[in-house]
């Protein structure tokens, strides 16, 4: 028996024989055609393009039917469709065929490779997760060009546990839950579309399990613990029985918790209210947000507007995206994060030797004033239609904040001069995700309307750990004492200044950290919609005064492991039925 650790992305327990799925997409050799053959190649490409678009239409519609109209999931494939329907993509590919005389296959591979390289160099972890979407699109086009039939894993015999280096969104979306019991991959992260789709389909999944394929052969009995991030290879009978019992318990608890708590307020037993909001990436996710009981959107990422654009979207594109979300939210509030992109996504950008520490986010927008002003103008216009506020990401010091706010003031003055309608009292906040910002939170609080702590980057920058690198994953901990001290300092600065302090990183949605965060004084938490019922249940089961004592003790501990164990023990005392599904075996 052997256990491989990875990232837990879709909860539950799956037990079954392994089926190894080979990576798709062999390299296409560079080949040329004669000039008089170019029109034929373009016609072949157009036929493949049409066939690919039709396949995606059918896939998205099938998801809507299977998932009871959860449109936010099928929207993944609407993004794919948008890429394929973009005239720029067709122009780029046919241009290579016409002027370079490449075969259609090589032209497709070359253009998609350029998109993928741009995403990989951007230095943004969210955009890095989108690489698989472009790989998926390229593979689909090549398959249709070559007349191949897509491998239907959903029709595989047996129930099986899928093991792969990585999976495309199309592969995952095609899975039948009755035949694909679980998923385990060597690559991927919490925000990859494989993870999103696995959660939506209710298939337990673990990603980022390094070295998994070399430890498994087809037919090996596997256990996938999607709550704890473990893959157990050839388990003994006792281990298998334990996991079977846990899997049955998990299913019962999840159904009962979602039904009972999603529409209740998050209020402690002694009356402390916590606002629970949700993080979204696309406007159409709002329906899922409200269905899971969120009070609004605490983090609206706007980078999706750049997924396929060669040029930055204009003011109107931003405005329409915001209005789509506002209309769906009705009277619920929404917090928009200003663009958080690397330089390589802009036409006038430049290479970054170290994208994570280079010209990204607000530093880049300083050099792209038109892009920044367009987004601010769109937000102000939309603020007249709904409850909006916005925040600057990656602020490192007070000078950066002042410079950004100066631009906002200038745009407001332009609106006033033109008699344009907008919310003159719109709140402008910042994300605390750089250690220097946390250390100077008292200064930043004097000129901010609110704080939102982005723990994903704060942990990464504080501990010098790439959160998506499985080789150093054991060093990544949001409860490391260094991180907790920075969070505490930020909360205290916000409280002293009388501004709201929220958290929108993954830490906010982990019930192992809920008591700690409530005890530290957070007034608002924003998380993935699916975890809202569990977090609400826990908050409604504790007392604020008791949570403060637990937080104080946690902050006195010396190592991340000590903090993790202590919080696990305290959480188990309150909601043992939830915690037992998240405890590692052995």
d(C-alpha 19, C-alpha 160), whole Å: 6
Specify the pLDDT at position 348. Answer: 46
Q: What is the CATH number of the domain that holds 458?
A: 3.20.20.60
**Are residues 276 and 252 located together in one domain of the fold?**
no
Closest C-alpha among 301, 242, 337 to residue 580:
242
Helix/strand/coil for 562: helix
**Are residues 253 and 271 located together in one domain of the fold?**
no
**Are residues 462 and 325 located together in one domain of the fold?**
yes
The half-sphere exposure of 134 on its side-chain side, counting CA atoms within 13 A, is 21
Helix/strand/coil for 385: coil
**Are residues 122 and 207 located together in one domain of the fold?**
no
Residue the block writes with tokens 């999706």: 304
Q: What is the DSSP string of 515-534?
A: HHHHHHT-SEEEE-GGGHHH
d(C-alpha 276, C-alpha 187), whole Å: 31
**Are residues 340 and 198 located together in one domain of the fold?**
no
Backbone angles phi, psi at 301, to 5 degrees: -75, 130
Could you tell me the strand order of the sheet in which 160-164 lies? 2-5, 230-233, 221-225, 13-21, 160-164, 180-185, 205-207, 7-10
> Between vectors from CA 428 to CA 448 and to CA 331, what angle results, nearest 5°?
130
Q: How many residues does the chain have?
A: 586
Specify the pLDDT at position 580. Answer: 55
Backbone angles phi, psi at 127, to 5 degrees: -70, -30
Sign of CA dihedral 255, 300, 133, 89: positive
The half-sphere exposure of 444 on its side-chain side, counting CA atoms within 13 A, is 38
Residue 368 included in any domain? yes
Residue 30 included in any domain? no
d(C-alpha 493, C-alpha 94), whole Å: 57
Contact at 8 Å (CB) between 134 and 92? no
**Are residues 491 and 387 located together in one domain of the fold?**
yes
Among 80, 193, 332, 513, the one annotated catalytic: 193
**Are residues 453 and 404 located together in one domain of the fold?**
yes
Contact at 8 Å (CB) between 203 and 182? yes
**Are residues 193 and 133 located together in one domain of the fold?**
no
Specify the pLDDT at position 23. Answer: 63
Q: What is the CATH number of the domain that holds 91?
A: 1.10.274.10
Q: What is the CATH number of the domain that holds 192?
A: 3.50.30.10
Contact at 8 Å (CB) between 28 and 195? no
SS (H, E, C) 197-261: HHHHHCCCEEECCCCCHHHCCCCCEEEEECCCCEEEECCCHHHHHHHHHHHHHHHHHHHHHHHHH
Specify the pLDDT at position 566. Answer: 96
Q: Residue 180 pairs with which residues in a beta bridge?
A: 160
Residue 29 included in any domain? no
Sign of CA dihedral 187, 189, 194, 200: positive
Residue 28 included in any domain? no
Residue 429 included in any domain? yes
Q: Please count the helices (runs of H) and the strands (runs of E) in the chain.
A: 23, 16
Element (H, E) at 185: strand 180-185
**Are residues 578 and 506 located together in one domain of the fold?**
yes
**Residue 251 neighbours by CB distance under 10 Å:** 15
- Picking from 87, 119, 145, the residue at the C-terminal end of a domain is 145
Helix pair angle (511-520, 544-556), 10° resolution: 100
Burial class of residue 175, CB neighbours in 10 A (0-12, 13-18, 19+): buried
Residue 72 included in any domain? yes
**Are residues 502 and 380 located together in one domain of the fold?**
yes
Encode the chain (586 residues) as per-residue pLDDT tens digits.
888 888 888 888 999 999 988 765 556 778 899 999 999 999 999 999 999 998 888 877 777 666 654 444 555 676 788 788 888 899 999 999 999 999 999 999 899 888 887 776 655 555 566 677 788 888 889 888 987 654 444 445 579 999 988 888 778 877 877 889 999 998 877 667 778 778 777 789 999 888 888 888 888 999 999 887 889 999 999 898 988 887 877 777 766 777 778 889 999 999 999 999 998 877 877 888 888 899 999 999 887 777 545 567 899 999 999 999 999 998 999 999 998 865 444 544 455 555 667 766 777 778 778 889 999 999 999 999 999 999 999 999 999 999 999 999 999 999 999 999 999 999 999 999 999 999 999 999 999 999 999 998 899 899 988 765 656 767 888 999 999 999 999 999 999 999 999 999 889 988 899 999 999 999 999 988 878 888 999 999 999 999 999 999 999 999 999 999 999 999 999 988 777 544 444 4
Residue the block writes with tokens 């990232």: 7
Six-digit token string for 462: 């504080």
Residue 561 included in any domain? yes
**Are residues 68 and 201 located together in one domain of the fold?**
no
Please tell me the pTM assigned to this model.
0.68
Specify the pLDDT at position 228. Answer: 79
The answer to whether residue 359 is catalytic is: no
Pairing between β-strand 13-21 and β-strand 275-280 as defined by DSSP bridges: unpaired
Residue 215 included in any domain? yes
**Residue 433 neighbours by CB distance under 10 Å:** 26
Among 262, 359, 504, 513, the one annotated catalytic: 504
d(C-alpha 386, C-alpha 310), whole Å: 30
**Are residues 219 and 368 located together in one domain of the fold?**
no
Q: What is the DSSP letter of 383?
A: H
- Picking from 206, 236, 258, the residue at the C-terminal end of a domain is 258
Closest C-alpha among 116, 112, 92, 113 to residue 42:
92
Maximal CA-CA distance, the chain: 80
How many structural domains compose the chain? 3
- Picking from 124, 145, 166, the residue at the C-terminal end of a domain is 145
Per the structure, the complete domain to which residue 522 belongs is given by: 267-582
């Amino acid at each position: 028996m052997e256990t491989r650790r990875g990232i837990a992305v879709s909860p539950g327990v799956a037990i079954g024989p392994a089926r190894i799925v080979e990576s798709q997409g062999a390299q296409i050799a560079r080949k040329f055609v004669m000039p008089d053959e170019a029109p034929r190649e373009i016609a072949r490409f157009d036929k493949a393009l049409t066939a690919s678009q039709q396949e995606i239409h059918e896939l998205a519609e099938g998801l809507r039917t299977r998932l009871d109209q959860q449109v936010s999931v099928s929207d993944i494939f609407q993004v794919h469709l948008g890429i394929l329907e973009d005239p720029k993509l067709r122009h780029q590919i046919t241009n290579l065929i016409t002027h370079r005389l490449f075969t259609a296959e090589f032209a497709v591979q070359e253009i998609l490779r350029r998109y993928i390289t741009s995403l990989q160099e951007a230095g943004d972890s969210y955009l890095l997760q989108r690489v698989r979407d472009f790989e998926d699109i390229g593979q689909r086009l090549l398959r249709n060009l070559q007349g191949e039939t897509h491998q239907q894993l959903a029709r595989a015999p047996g129930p099986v546990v899928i093991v792969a280096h990585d999976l495309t969104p199309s592969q995952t979306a095609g899975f039948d839950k009755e035949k694909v019991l679980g998923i385990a991959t060597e690559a991927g992260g919490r925000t990859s579309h494989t993870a999103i789709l696995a959660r939506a389909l209710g298939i337990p999944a673990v990603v980022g399990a390094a070295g998994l394929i070399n430890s498994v052969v087809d037919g090996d009995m596997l256990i996938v613990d999607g709550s704890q991030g473990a893959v157990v290879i050839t388990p003994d009978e006792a281990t298998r029985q334990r996991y079977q019992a846990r899997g049955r318990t998990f299913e019962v608890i999840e159904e009962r918790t979602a039904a009972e708590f999603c529409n209740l307020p998050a209020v402690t037993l002694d009356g402390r209210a916590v606002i629970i909001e949700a993080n979204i990436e696309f406007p159409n996710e709002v329906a899922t947000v409200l269905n899971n009981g969120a009070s609004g959107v605490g983090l609206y990422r706007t980078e999706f507007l750049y997924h396929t654009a060669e040029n930055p979207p204009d003011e109107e594109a931003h405005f329409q995206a915001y209005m789509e979300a506002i209309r769906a939210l009705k009277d619920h509030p929404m917090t928009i994060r200003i663009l958080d992109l690397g330089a390589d996504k802009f036409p006038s950008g430049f290479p970054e030797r170290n994208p994570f520490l280079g010209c990204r986010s607000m530093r880049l927008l300083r050099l792209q004033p038109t892009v920044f002003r367009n987004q601010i103008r769109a937000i102000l216009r939309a603020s007249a239609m709904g409850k909006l506020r916005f925040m600057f990401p990656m602020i490192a010091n007070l000078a950066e904040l002042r410079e950004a706010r100066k631009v906002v003031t200038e745009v407001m003055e332009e609106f006033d001069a033109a008699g344009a309608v907008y919310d003159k009292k719109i709140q402008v906040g910042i994300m605390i995700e750089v250690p220097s910002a946390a250390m100077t939170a008292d200064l930043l609080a004097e000129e901010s309307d609110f704080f939102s702590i982005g723990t994903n980057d704060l942990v990464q920058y504080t501990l010098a750990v790439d959160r998506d690198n499985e080789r150093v994953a054991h060093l990544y901990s949001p409860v490391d004492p260094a991180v907790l001290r920075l969070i505490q300092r930020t909360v205290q600065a916000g409280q002293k200044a009388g501004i709201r302090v929220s958290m929108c990183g993954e830490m906010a949605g982990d019930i192992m950290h809920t008591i700690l965060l409530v005890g530290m004084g957070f007034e608002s938490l924003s998380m993935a919609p699916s975890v809202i019922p569990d977090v609400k249940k826990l908050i409604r089961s504790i007392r604020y005064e008791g949570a403060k004592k637990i937080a104080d003790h946690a902050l006195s501990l010396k190592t991340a492991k000590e903090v993790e164990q202590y919080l696990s023990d305290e959480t188990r005392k309150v909601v043992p039925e939830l915690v037992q599904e998240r405890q590692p075996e052995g």
